A and B are shown apart, each in its own frame.
Chain A
Amino acid sequence: MSRKIVNDFSITVGTVNGSGSQTANTTILRALFKMGIPVSGKNLFPSNIQGLPTWYTIRVNENGFTARRAEHEIVICMNPNSFTRDLADVLPGGAFFYADDIKQPITRDDITIYPMPVKSLMRAQTDVPPNLKDLVANMVYVGILAQMLGIDLSTIKSALEFHFKGRQKPVDLNFNVVQSAADWAKTNLTKKDPYFVERTNKTEGLIMTDGNTAAALGAIYGGVQFAAWYPITPASSLAEELLEYLPILRKREDGKHTYAVIQAEDELAAIGMAIGAGWAGLRAMTSTSGPGLSLMTEFAGLAYYTEVPVVIWDVQRVGPSTGLPTRTSQGDLTFTHYMGHGDTEQVILLPGTVNECFEFGWKAFDIAEHMQTPIFVLSDLELGMNQWMTEPFRYPDTRMDRGKILWEEDLEKLNGVWARYKDVDGDGIPYRTVPGNKHPAAAYFLRGTGHDENARYSEEPEVWAANMARLKRKYKNAAKFIPAPIIEKTPGADIGIIAFGSTEPAIREARHQIETEAGLRSDSMRIRGIPFISQVREFIESHTNNYVVEMNRDGQMYQLLLTEYPDLSGKLRSIAFNDGLPATAKWVKESILALEVK
Chain B
Amino acid sequence: MAEVLSAGPSVQLNLVGLSKNDYRGAPTTLCQGCGHNSIANQIIAACYEANVAPERLVKFSGIGCSSKSPTYFLNRSFGFNGLHGRMPSVATGALFADTGLRGLGVSGDGDSANIGMGQFKHAVRRNVPMVYIVENNGVYGLTKGQFSATAEEGLELKHQGRNPYMPIDIAWEALVGGATFVARSFAGDPKQVKELIKAALGHHGIAVLDIISPCVTFNNQDNTYHSYAWGKEHEVALHELSYVPPAHEITVEYNEGEDKEVILHDGSSIILKKLDRDYDPTHRADALRVLEEANSCSCLITGLIYVDPAKPELTELYNLIDTPLNRLGEADLRPAPDTIAMINSLMF
Interface residues of A (CB under 8 A from B): 30, 33, 159, 162, 207-209, 213, 217, 220-223, 225-226, 228, 245, 249-250, 252, 254-260, 262, 264-266, 268-284, 298-299, 302, 387, 392-396, 399-400, 402, 416-420, 433-449, 454-457
Interface of chain B, main secondary structure = mixed
Partner of A276, one of B75, B93, B318: B93
User: With a CB–CB cut-off of 8 A, which chain A residues contact B326?
Assistant: 225, 280-282, 434-436
Assess the B91–A276 pair: CB atoms within 8 A: yes
User: With a CB–CB cut-off of 8 A, which chain A residues contact B285?
Assistant: none
User: With a CB–CB cut-off of 8 A, which chain B residues contact A249?
Assistant: 335, 339, 343
14 contacts between A and B (CB under 8 A): A223-B334, A250-B335, A257-B321, A277-B96, A302-B82, A392-B340, A393-B344, A400-B334, A436-B55, A436-B100, A436-B101, A443-B54, A443-B75, A443-B79
- In the complex, B267 has a CB within 8 A of chain A: no
Distance of A279 Cα from B327 Cα, bound (Å): 13
Assess the B318–A444 pair: CB atoms within 8 A: no
Assess the B86–A268 pair: CB atoms within 8 A: yes
User: With a CB–CB cut-off of 8 A, which chain A residues contact B324?
Assistant: 436
User: With a CB–CB cut-off of 8 A, which chain A residues contact B321?
Assistant: 252, 254, 256-258
User: With a CB–CB cut-off of 8 A, which chain B residues contact A443?
Assistant: 1, 54-55, 75-79
Assess the A417–B92 pair: CB atoms within 8 A: no
User: With a CB–CB cut-off of 8 A, which chain B residues contact A259?
Assistant: 325
Assess the B97–A273 pair: CB atoms within 8 A: no
User: With a CB–CB cut-off of 8 A, which chain A residues contact B333?
Assistant: 223, 225, 250, 258, 283, 400
Distance of A136 Cα from B216 Cα, bound (Å): 72
Contact flag A260-B90 (CB < 8 Å), given A225-B328, A249-B335, A419-B1: no
Report B109-146 CB contacts with A as 1/0, cut-off 8 Å. 00000000011001000000000000000000000000
Contact flag A445-B81 (CB < 8 Å), given A257-B321, A454-B2: yes
- In the complex, B160 has a CB within 8 A of chain A: no
User: With a CB–CB cut-off of 8 A, which chain A residues contact B100?
Assistant: 436
Assess the A457–B318 pair: CB atoms within 8 A: no
Assess the A208–B119 pair: CB atoms within 8 A: no
Distance of A502 Cα from B325 Cα, bound (Å): 35
Assess the A438–B330 pair: CB atoms within 8 A: no
- In the complex, B337 has a CB within 8 A of chain A: yes
- In the complex, B80 has a CB within 8 A of chain A: yes
Which of A30, A256, A420, A456 has the most C-beta atoms of chain B within 10 angstroms of its own C-beta?
A256
Partner of B4, one of A159, A399, A402, A440: A440
Min CB distance, A21 to chain B, in Å? Answer: 18
- In the complex, B202 has a CB within 8 A of chain A: no
Report B143-167 CB contacts with A as 1/0, cut-off 8 Å. 0000000000000000000000000
Partner of B328, one of A258, A284, A435: A258
Interface residues on B, range: 35 or more
Contact flag A276-B81 (CB < 8 Å), given A268-B89, A457-B71: no
Contact flag A400-B330 (CB < 8 Å), given A435-B97, A438-B55: yes
User: With a CB–CB cut-off of 8 A, which chain A residues contact B86?
Assistant: 268-269, 272, 298-299
Which of B88, B118, B325 has the most C-beta atoms of chain A within 10 angstroms of its own C-beta?
B325
Min CB distance, B27 to chain A, in Å? Answer: 12
Assess the B83–A437 pair: CB atoms within 8 A: no
Min CB distance, A437 to chain B, in Å? Answer: 7
Interface residues of B (CB under 8 A from A): 1-4, 26, 54-55, 58-59, 70-71, 75-83, 86, 88-98, 100-101, 118-119, 122, 315, 318-322, 324-330, 332-335, 337, 339-340, 343-344, 347-348
User: With a CB–CB cut-off of 8 A, which chain B residues contact A299?
Assistant: 83, 86
Pick the 10 closest A-B CB pairs, nearest first: A272-B89, A276-B93, A223-B333, A281-B326, A280-B97, A273-B93, A436-B98, A277-B93, A276-B94, A276-B90
User: With a CB–CB cut-off of 8 A, which chain A residues contact B318?
Assistant: 257, 260
Min CB distance, A367 to chain B, in Å? Answer: 16
User: With a CB–CB cut-off of 8 A, which chain B residues contact A269?
Assistant: 86, 88-89, 92, 118-119, 122
Query: How many A-B contacts if CB must be within 8 Å?
Result: 231
Assess the B337–A435 pair: CB atoms within 8 A: no
Min CB distance, B5 to chain A, in Å? Answer: 8
Q: Which residue of B lies closest to A281 (CB)?
A: B326
Contact flag A257-B80 (CB < 8 Å), given A281-B326, A438-B55, A443-B54: no
Contact flag A445-B71 (CB < 8 Å), given A280-B98, A436-B55, A436-B101: yes
User: With a CB–CB cut-off of 8 A, which chain A residues contact B77?
Assistant: 443
User: With a CB–CB cut-off of 8 A, which chain B residues contact A284?
Assistant: 93
Assess the A225–B93 pair: CB atoms within 8 A: no
Q: Which residue of B lies closest to A442 (CB)?
A: B55
User: With a CB–CB cut-off of 8 A, which chain B residues contact A162?
Assistant: 348
Assess the A435–B334 pair: CB atoms within 8 A: no
Distance of A184 Cα from B139 Cα, bound (Å): 78
Min CB distance, B304 to chain A, in Å? Answer: 28
Assess the A435–B101 pair: CB atoms within 8 A: yes
Q: Which residue of B lies closest to A271 (CB)?
A: B89
Contact flag A394-B93 (CB < 8 Å), given A441-B2, A455-B1: no
User: With a CB–CB cut-off of 8 A, which chain A residues contact B58?
Assistant: 280, 435
User: With a CB–CB cut-off of 8 A, which chain B residues contact A274?
Assistant: 93
Distance of A440 Cα from B347 Cα, bound (Å): 49
User: With a CB–CB cut-off of 8 A, which chain B residues contact A265?
Assistant: 118-119, 122
User: With a CB–CB cut-off of 8 A, which chain B residues contact A252?
Assistant: 321
Partner of B90, one of A213, A250, A273: A273
Distance of A447 Cα from B79 Cα, bound (Å): 8
Assess the B54–A394 pair: CB atoms within 8 A: no
Q: Which residue of B lies closest to A249 (CB)?
A: B335
Assess the A437–B55 pair: CB atoms within 8 A: yes
Q: Which residue of A lies closest to B29 (CB)?
A: A457
Min CB distance, B54 to chain A, in Å? Answer: 7
Assess the B93–A447 pair: CB atoms within 8 A: no
Min CB distance, B166 to chain A, in Å? Answer: 24
Q: Which residue of B lies closest to A447 (CB)?
A: B81
Partner of B348, one of A207, A257, A419, A456: A207
Q: Which residue of B lies closest to A278 (CB)?
A: B93
Partner of B97, one of A256, A262, A281, A441: A281
Assess the A276–B330 pair: CB atoms within 8 A: no
Min CB distance, A243 to chain B, in Å? Answer: 12
